[in-house]
Amino acid sequence: MPPTSYRPTGPPDSPLLDSDSDADLDIDLAELDPVPSSSKPHGSRFRGAEPRPAQRAPPIALRNLRMSGPRRSAKRNRGYGELGRDRIGDDDAMPLVDDELQDQRYSDASGFADDDAPLLRQQAARPPQPSAAGGLRALAQMRSTLRLPSFMSSTSTHRRNSNGDHDDDDAAQELEDPSTSRTVAVGCVQGTRYPPNLISNAKYTAFTFLPITLYNEFSFFFNLYFLLVALSQAIPALRIGYLSTYIAPLAFVLFITMGKEAYDDVERRRRDNEANSEAYTVLNFGDSNLTTNHKSRNPLITSSLRNRHGRKSARRDRLSDIREEEEQVEGEGFNSASTDPYEISKKSRDLRVGDVLKLNKGQRVPADVVILQCSSVESSQTEGQEPDAESLLVDTDDESSGENVEAGDGDRPEQSEDSSSGETFIRTDQLDGETDWKLRVASALTQPLPLGELTRVRVTGGKPDKSVNDFIGTIQVLPKGNAVANSPSAPLSIDNTAWANTIVASQVTTFAVIVYTGPQTRSALSTAPSRSKTGLLEYEINSLTKILCALTLALSIILVALEGFGSAGENVWYVKITRFLVLFSTIVPISLRVNLDMGKSVYSWFIQRDTDIYGAVVRTSTIPEDLGRIEYLLSDKTGTLTQNEMEMKKVHIGTVSYANEAMDEVASYVRQAFSSKSGTQALVTPSSTQNIVGGASATRTRREIGQRVRDVVLALALCHNVTPTTEEENGETITSYQASSPDEIAIVRWTESVGLRLKQRDRKRMVLESTDSGETVVQVRILDIFPFTSDGKRMGIVVQFDEEKHATSNPETGEVWFYQKGADTVMGSIVAANDWLDEETANMAREGLRTLVVGRKRLSMDQYGEFSRAYKDAALAINGREAALQRVVGRFLESDLELLGVTGVEDKLQKDVKPSLELLRNAGIKIWMLTGDKVETARCVAVSSKLVARGQYIYTVAQLKRKDNAQDHLDFLRSKPDSCLLIDGESLSLFLTHFSSEFVSVAVQLPTVVACRCSPTQKADVAKLIKDFTKKRICCIGDGGNDVSMIQAADVGVGIVGKEGRQASLAADFSIEQFYHLTKLLVWHGRNSYKRSAKLAQFVIHRGLIVAVCQTVYSIAIKFEPEGLYKDWLLVGYATVYTAAPVLSLVLDKDVNENVANLYPELYKELTSGRSLSYRTFFVWVLVSIYQGSVIQGLSQLLTEVDGKRMVAVSYTVLVLNELLMVAIEITTWHLVMVLCIIGTFIVFVGSVPFLGGYFDLEFASTWGFYWRVLAISAISLIPPYAGKVIRRTMKPPSYRKVQGI
């Protein structure tokens, strides 16, 4: 009879005591592992664990915290204990299997873990020892349950009832909850459904399109006004003319606008589809994909699992793999692939969590992945031995792990010194804006595995997070076959990942498993959703429409009041007011939206057809006028202002500076210094003098210069983290370089150009060869590397030189040298005293060059031995390790370095960036540069691009941590309003959090602001802050995925089609291919769009207002009766056939030509004030409309009759003729289309008169009396406004006429 399952009798949150527990050794968990209250509970201690409510952990037995192997290991039944502890979650106190299964699995009463099992496995220095039990007993152990430690349980944990079904409803909601951690089975179908890997920049779906667009349309007052007017015509007492007269225009406007929105969104989806259709190579493991659905041979287990298949349990994610693995152990065991996996091609949209990607150099990473293997030779993957668990487990401390990876000091397991080093570089500038390449490494557990066995790997990660610089997880390799060995596991950190939209930069084949897809990727979580944008002109017209509506209401009330509010039959006074409102509805012209939308389409067509900005795409066609109203430009740096291509421009060695053509002299020095005689085995060392330039015949000065040149070139060729790689292109072998910094690559390329090439580099050795002879001239052994950090701002290397070829360094005789290069701000105090360093670095900085100071120091073997011992002792420190290591380096190495020289590296700018920025600044646009790059890099680019004017003071605020110092910085900036502010992300965050209003009030007054180390969210926050504070138009431009949030937060978002991706371009309102295209987009197309739309809007308002004035005069003449003057076709035809084309032709008008607009960018500054469509110009047009309407209707009634077809014929003809001539008067630059529209419309009107017999007196219209009346009234209506315009332009000409001399 099998024993019953064990259930502890104590409460779930109390420690389980056994007979040998030591109460006096119980300690508080917080004392052992204190966690700051601000941090996430257990966030860094248990991989994949979810944050829990703050609670005091119960005491745990001190004996349970040993760091060595567990006692009585032979008696311990581990089962799946290691898996359980790897997946610690909120339900850890629950049994891992059903009660019914426990009865079948226990072979004896010891089927649960012993009480002194180690509780903090991941803190252990060595992995747990495997059980010593035999075959049958081991299998029983594999099937046993795990009793988890009670201190890991949550107070809210509920034990299941015997039927196990009471919590089904709650658990069902948690199955696909993205807030929980996930365990990914590599190469297998996942037990949890995850979102598809889709990129979407669309604003609408099929269900949301109508509600959102209708809401957006009717949120504008004039659309809502016309909706009410149209609805009023359904009431017979209020109906005037045909119902279609009012319904059709509104429906047409909505159709045009919504059609345009639909077209724009369809285009976005089409472009998204291109990105989602990008093909990737995926490994297919054949039948192993069915692992998670493998049918067990144990009917009891199968039945239980089938019964529980529909249950959505919170424990499902954590336990699914355990059950799957157990079924396989019961049946066939873990099936290693019988054949190697084969490659298939999948579109990006079809990629799923668990897929294994094969990525090559230059490929975009389509989803968030964990790197499994890196190898430059795919065929090198062979069936290998199972990696030893103890040798592969690495320290779980994130910081120390990161140090080992970065420093390459050998703490990681040794790999063979071939291409399978498990390392790759990625470019993250599309994600975080940083130009430095990032080193990524495969886990030591998976790197040696054959590809066919990757299905045994399980990756555990936390919930989806938008933090691009953090990741906590674990990786585990399950036992092979029926083996009873423990499952080795290792921690994962950010160094083992590659996020979506990063680029593989190494010439290696990278195999990676997808962990997060689509909306759960870091890139997507850092991006704000798309929003509908409305131009400033729309809001201004909306305000003017409200004034017109108020004028309409006032006019209606006045006319009824003049009649005395009398009531005759059904004509009650409020009905009369309503009918007057309908009659005067032309004051708020519904055609205004039609004309403006058609104008926007024309502007978009002009932009996309402009050959000077070839490749420009308008993705949001509703805001082209805002291009002419920009006052703040927020720009990214990398890929936007710069090409992210570095070039070594200058080197200074103390007495001589070399640049441009003078580099040939450096090459001659290097050629002589590193020349090797054929057959000789001697190598060059810093102390060797046989190759000093010129020999005895050279002057002393020349010999000194030659030696200094040799020393600085040798230092630059050795002091770096660059690795050479070879690749074949078109049958030729090409050497390329990989490094985390493009600066270092530029320097190594420069040393190659002057004659000293990096031939070979691994973790232990470096070989240099002469480019002339191809012979090896320098060999060194790498003893220590001190990588560059943002705080240290320097990197160093300790090397030992070989004296002969093909021989290892003699530990006793080989020269040991310490080389270091870094920023002048830190190196100035490290190198020996000199009188030229500060001056030369300042000169290079003024040129916009990124300066590095190079120094060296020779160490005796005793000195190095003493340093090495002290460094190792410091590395063992638990607390303050970083500071201790730095103190040792500073004490033994960083003192009195020999100053060798200063280098100047230029970050190449995009084409015509300097003149473009100068032109935009002269146009009155204040420019901010927001970048994720370093402070020094941002400063250099700001200077080299002329973003900062020569002589302009740069005020730097960096690493500001205290609020009390922030106010001092603000006070200083107030006193120097002409300075440039350079601020880092940490300081910016403090200002935005505590002093947002004060900061932005000061910053917006500065001509230039440079913010570096900015996260994508910070960029968007800055854009929103400026927009909300100033109420001005903001334009944001960028090229990377990290700029999408900023672009979408701006009033106008401009995306540059980058070399590595189009994410910014797809999400932007306007897409261009070069930064300098922005100047034409703003100064020319923006100017034209705004000026044309402003004039168009005023004409449409004038066209409707003049009809309302005529109606008013007519109503007064017929004793205030609400009868229509122009009915049915006359009203519709006037707004469409007879005036629409001439008025719309104003979209072709231009006040200046393109050359003048570029030559005088100050003309753009006037546009930002909005004078082209202001309250002043609006009321001028209102007065003109009142004058012309009164003259036209008044004289028509006086010269003909008060009410009749003759009066209508004269009045309507003059009205149409007046509008055509007004368009002609307002045109600045004539276009053939304008002439055709005006003449063609007039011909159409004349031709349609014979068909207007129902409205006109056609006999009278054919007499001379009709013609002279029309001409006379037209002259009186047009001459005074035209004369006023001429006089005004003569007395106070506009700026564009001044510069043109007109």
Catalytic residue list: 636
Which letter does DSSP use for residue 1173 in this model? G
Distance CA 778, CA 929 (A): 43
Among candidates 916, 786, 812, 899, which has minimal Cα distance to 864?
Answer: 812
Name the burial class of residue 58, with classes exposed (0-12), middle (13-18) and buried (19+) by CB atoms within 10 angstroms of its CB.
Answer: middle
CA distances from 1187 to 585, 1109, 1277 (A): 19, 9, 8
Report the run of H or E that residue 870 belongs to, with start and end.
helix 861-875
Residue 360 sits at the vertex; the CA angle it makes with 358 and 364, to the nearest 5 degrees, is 90
Question: Is residue 184 within 8 Å of residue 357, measured between CB atoms?
Answer: no
Widest Cα–Cα separation across the chain: 125
Among candidates 75, 65, 61, 57, which has minimal Cα distance to 113?
Answer: 75
Report the run of H or E that residue 945 belongs to, with start and end.
none
Q: What is the CA radius of gyration of the chain?
A: 39
To 10 degrees, what angle do helices 1205-1226 and 1087-1117 make? Answer: 160
Distance CA 1035, CA 1054 (A): 7
| Edge-first strand listing for the sheet containing 342-347 | 342-347, 279-284, 356-359, 509-516, 368-375, 497-498
Question: Is residue 312 within 8 Å of residue 168, measured between CB atoms?
Answer: yes
Identity (one letter) of the amino acid at 1029? F
Identity (one letter) of the amino acid at 287? D
Query: If you count them, how many residues does the chain have?
Result: 1302
Question: Is residue 362 within 8 Å of residue 503, measured between CB atoms?
Answer: yes
Strands, E, within 252-325: which ranges?
A: 279-284
Tokens of 647: 């070039």
Distance CA 1039, CA 1061 (A): 8
Tokens of 262: 């639909």
Residue 436 sits at the vertex; the CA angle it makes with 349 and 442, to the nearest 5 degrees, is 60
Q: Report the relative pairing of strands 457-461 and 473-477 from DSSP bridges.
A: antiparallel
CA distances from 177 to 157, 194, 1031 (A): 18, 10, 40
Task: Tally Cβ neighbours within 10 Å of residue 519.
Answer: 18
Helix (H, G, I), strand (E, B) or coil at 212: helix
Among candidates 92, 105, 98, which has minimal Cα distance to 161?
Answer: 98
Distance CA 750, CA 664 (A): 12
Task: Tally Cβ neighbours within 10 Å of residue 737.
Answer: 18
Give φ, ψ of 1031 to 5 degrees. 60, 25
Which letter does DSSP use for residue 1001 in this model? H
CA distances from 1203 to 543, 1124, 1129 (A): 36, 11, 18
Distance CA 900, CA 428 (A): 33
Helix (H, G, I), strand (E, B) or coil at 399: helix
Residue 695 zone, left/alpha/beta (φ > 0; ψ -120 to 50; rest): left
CA distances from 793 to 825, 851, 934, 956 (A): 9, 12, 10, 16
Tokens of 736: 């390329």
